[in-house]
Structure 1
Amino acid sequence: MTEDLSKFWLSAEKAVLVVVDVQERLVPAMDAIVYARVRKSIGLLLQGAEILQVPVIATEQYPRGLGHTVPELAAACRDGAVEKVSFGCCGDGGFVDRLGALDRPQVIVTGMEAHVCVYQTVLGLLEGGYNVHLVRDAICSRGKTDFLTGVENAARAGATVTTAEMALFQMLRAAGTPEFKAVSALIKEM
Structure 2
Amino acid sequence: MKIAGLMIDLQTTIINAMSQKDELLKQSEILLKGLEILGIDLITSEQYPQKLGSTHDAFLPFIKNNAYAKTAFSAPADENIKQKISSYDTFLVFGIEAHICVLQSVKELISLGKKVVLIEPCTSSRNPKNKDIAIATMRELGAEISSVESVLFEILGDAKHEKFKEISKLIR
Q: Does the 8 Å CA contact 1:46/1:77 hold for their aligned counterparts?
A: no
Superposition deviation, residue 185 in structure 1: 0.4
Matched, 1:54 2:40: yes
2:14 to 17, 20, 26: 26
Larger of the two Rg values belongs to structure: 1
Matched, 1:156 2:140: yes
Q: SS at 1:17's partner residue? A: strand
**TM-score computed with the length of structure 1 as normaliser:** 0.88
Q: Which amino acid aligns with 1:105?
A: D
**Counterpart of 1:178 in 2: which secondary structure?**
coil
How many residues align? The count is 172
RMSD: 1.0
Q: Percent identity?
A: 30
TM score, norm. by length of structure 2? 0.97
Distance 2:27 2:116 in 1: 18
Indicate the residue corresponding to 1:87 in structure 2. 73
1:99-154 CA distance string (max 9 Å, x none): 11xx2200000100000000000000000000000011110000011010010000
CA deviation string 1:142-186 (max 9, x = no partner)? 001101001000000110011111110000000033300000000
* Candidates 91, 105, 110, aligned match of 1:126: 110
Report the residue type matching 2:116 in the other structure. Answer: V
Question: What are the ranges of 5 or more consecutive residues in structure 2 without an aligned counterpart?
Answer: none
5+ residue gaps in structure 1?
1-12
Distance 2:169 2:125 in 1: 29
Q: Distance in 1 between matches of 2:109 and 2:16?
A: 28
